[in-house]
Amino acid sequence: MHPTFRRLGTSELLPRYIFAESLFARRRVLEVDAVATTGGESARFLLERGARTVVACDADLAAVAAAQKAHGGASLRYRANVYDDLEPGSFDLVLVADLAPYVRAPTLLAELARLVSRQGYLIGGLRNTAGLALWQLMDVEEGVPPTYGQLLDALSPHFPNVEVATQAPVLGYQLAFEKGDGLQVDGSLIRGSEAAYYVVMAGAEPARIVDPTWVQLPPEPLAFTRGKLDEVAQRSKGWEERTGRLKESLTRLRAELTDRESEVTQLKPALELARDQVARLTAQLEQARGTPEATRERDELSSRLRRTELELQVALERVADADRRLGQQRLEMEAAERARKEAEVQTLGSQETLRLERARREELNTSLEESRERLTQAYTQLRELQDELAGLRVEREKDRLSSERAREQSEELRRQVEAARERELRLAEQYSTSLAAVELLKSDVARAEQARQTSESVLRSRDADLARLTREVEDGARRVSGAEAARRDAEVRLTAREAEWRGLETELTAARAELERLTAEVEARTRSEENVRSAAARLEQELHEARGSLESLEEERVRSAAELEETIEEERQRAESRVAQERAKTERAEAEAAREKAAREEQASRAEGLENQVRVEAAAREEASRALAGLEAQRQQWADERGALRRRVVEVEETLSELERVRASDVESITRLDSALKATQGSITAEQQARARADAEREQALAGLEQEREGRERLEEAVAQTQARLEAEHQRLEEAREALSSVRAELKSERQQRAQESEERTRLQAGLEEERQQRAQVEASLAEVQAGLEAERQRSTGLESELAQARAGLESV
């Protein structure tokens, strides 16, 4: 079938949406039962034409999943036709593709009406079988939809205002210039066209007036419908002819029935009068003379009366049998009604169970989402801790480098201080030596020797000071080595922390794998639940269909039972009237027989009296002859009247035979009703079998739900285990945080030590600067001393030369 022209396809639904475009612009829209027939294109069309949000529902879960995958988004969602989780009044417009199932099921219609907001509307279509729809060119229509009156009766309790538009196909050509304005519609070539659909707009307030709309569809798919069109035309023509013949036969039968009823009504008084006259004349005749003909007629009447009584008894037995069958059928229908109510109760129980399972699944999904959020937060905290740890590592490395540089600078400063001290010692020694030399030179050579000894003692003291400084340097080196050992211990602890972090990362990886496994199980459970839900939806659909068929069977049963009761009641009334008539006839016949007997006795006594009177009085013979002549004339007159009465009796008998034929037709109608009742019982039996199958399928669905519940319990246990693992992870993270805080404290102490070292280095630099200034002063004084020493050396050289000369002079002397 072409996707454009199909039942409830785009060719049927999109023109309605274009017609009601002003009602769903920037509104919340719910589309019902159109995903499978349009593939989700109709919902996407609504969103493209200005709807704010669109939710499309359908019972075909595969079509819903495919449409969600193809067209789903933030503003367009596809879901199953379950409305329990939707809030009342959550949609401004509810678009129903076909209102027929909801008219047959008022509960479903009430559920849809609950979703319409106060200023919202419900728009839906109902098929009119008298009109031609475009999809009939491609397919054959099946089933009979509800009537227009049933539609209004179903919508009126929920919506104060119900407006109805018509949707009819248009076949023709469009004639227009490229720059032409306006539109002229000519419908003169159409002869008696019916609408294909009734489009209902129901709401709390009247809808805005929408102008008549023509929607042009692509004509290409019609090229493939030539054979279908001929077939549909022939079929439609055949149905029209058959409908005409049936209407004519029905009209003829109604006219005949009316004529028969009028004839029966007219003949009843005449029949009563004729019976009275016959009885009166027969009584008079018998009173006049009891003849063998009267005896035969009386015997015939008695035999007819007995036959009539037997027929009445048979009719009464049939009526009683029909009453018994009707009572049995009523009991069976009551049992079927009870079974239907039990099935509805079981269905409601299964729906409640399904709703509880859905709520549990939602809670499980919520808990999983919370677990995912907590795990995401744990991942975020872990990443933050890793970033902080990396920053601390960088800072520690920087601190280590800066401490090494500070240590190198302190070593360099110490070396510079030691060199300065050595130079100072050398300068002091030189200064002391120069002073001693000057003193010795000023005094004499003995003091020079003493000054040498004194300088040696000073040199020893300086050596002691140098040893003391060496010991201090060694103590500083030991302190530095202790700090280096502490640094190595901190690095070992940091390595242990890194190992713990790697263990935590491994456990987090395992937790992720477990979470992925649980997610896969949840998805599998979700798919199984969707399968169960589809099975439940299918069962609900079958139950709805069974309810519809049961309702139709119930209506047919009620109608047939009512007709049967009416027929039986009419037959009973006829039979009772006939029994009453026959009883009256019997009573009149008995009265006539009694009167005849009394008349015979009286006539016998009168004859005896007449004979006695003839014997006694001869004169009375002439008078008796005259009386006999008068009686003979009267007898002749009575014979004439009797012939007329016989003719009227023949006519009455013909009328009675006609009534017998009517009764035979009534018996045939009763037989047909019996066959209809048997067929109804057969359909009820089939329905009961279908219900048994539905109960079996429901039991299977309940078993599947039980398995699903067990799987969910296992999943909840796995989730609880995962939550316990997450709690352990949280504890480990807390421990890691505590370890990190201790590391931070150690780093803070190291930073404080580094600050103290920097302060000490600043003090050392200040002391070094002072030492440099003092060294400059010492160097300046040393230069002066060196100049003095040089002068003293020259003087000592001169003194030595003089002393040598003096010694040489003394030696020469």
Q: Sort 596 into a burial class: Cβ within 10 Å, 0-12 / 13-18 / 19+.
A: buried
Mean per-residue pLDDT over the chain, rounded = 71
pLDDT digits (tens, 9 = 90+) for 685-706: 666 676 667 667 667 766 766 7
**What phi and psi values does residue 94 have, to the nearest 5 degrees?**
-115, 115
Q: How many whole angstroms separate alpha carbon 99 and alpha carbon 105?
A: 10
Specify the pLDDT at position 220: 55
Q: Is the pLDDT of residue 121 over 80?
A: yes
pLDDT confidence of residue 44: 93
Give the residue-averaged pLDDT of 207-234.
63
Task: State the Cα torsion 393-398-402-405 to the nearest 10°.
Answer: 100
Whether 89 has a pLDDT exceeding 70, the answer reads: yes
Flag the least confident range among 111-115, 686-690, 790-794: 686-690
* Rounded average pLDDT over 505-513: 65
pLDDT-based confidence at residue 2 (cuts at 50, 70, 90): very low
* pLDDT higher than threshold 60 for residue 84: yes
Over residues 744-759, the pLDDT tens digits come to 676 677 677 777 766 7
Band (25; pLDDT cuts 50, 70, 90): confident
Confidence of residue 466 (pLDDT cuts 50, 70, 90): low
Residue 1 has pLDDT above 50, yes or no: no
10-170+193-224 topology per CATH:
Rossmann fold (3.40.50)
pLDDT of residue 475: 67
| pLDDT > 70 fraction of the chain, expressed in percent and rounded | 39
How far is residue 431's CA from residue 462's CA, in Å, rounded to a whole number? 14
| DSSP 8-state secondary structure symbol assigned to residue 206 | P
Distance CA 283, CA 589 (A): 9
Confidence of residue 574 (pLDDT cuts 50, 70, 90): low
3-state SS of the chain: helix, strand, coil percent to 5?
80, 5, 15
Write the DSSP assignment of 428-459 as a string of letters.
HHHHHHHHHHHHHHHS-HHHHHHHHHHHHHHH
Rounded CA-CA distance 662/660 in Å is 5
Give the model's pLDDT for residue 97. 92
- Whether the per-residue pLDDT at 94 is higher than 90: the answer is yes
DSSP 370-422: HHHHHHHHHHHHHHHHHHHHHHHHHHHHHHHHHHHHHHHHHHHHHHHHHHHHH
**Residue among 269, 266, 267 nearest 657 (CA):** 267
330-363 residue pLDDT tens: 676 666 666 666 666 666 665 666 666 677 667 7
For 668, the enclosing helix (H) or strand (E) is helix 620-812
Position 628 scores a pLDDT of 58
Q: How far from 629 is each of 289, 607, 608, CA to CA, in Å?
A: 15, 16, 19
Percent of the chain clearing pLDDT 90 (strictly above):
12
pLDDT band at 204 (very low <50, low <70, confident <90, very high): confident
**Order of strands, edge to edge, in the sheet holding 91-96?**
76-80, 53-58, 28-32, 91-96, 116-127, 197-203, 161-167
Reported as a single tens digit per residue, the pLDDT across 515-565 is 677 666 657 666 766 665 665 566 666 656 656 665 665 676 566 556 656
Higher-confidence residue of 661 and 197: namely 197
Flag whether pLDDT at 587 surpasses 60: yes
Which of 680, 626, 693 shows the shortest CA–CA distance to 332?
A: 680
Span 162-178, pLDDT tens digits: 999 888 887 766 676 65
Mean pLDDT of 134-154: 79
Give residue 103's pLDDT. Answer: 92
> Would you say 655 and 267 are in contact if contact means Cβ atoms under 8 Å apart?
yes
Look at residue 113 and tell me whether its pLDDT is greater than 90: yes
Q: Mean pLDDT throughout 463-481?
A: 63
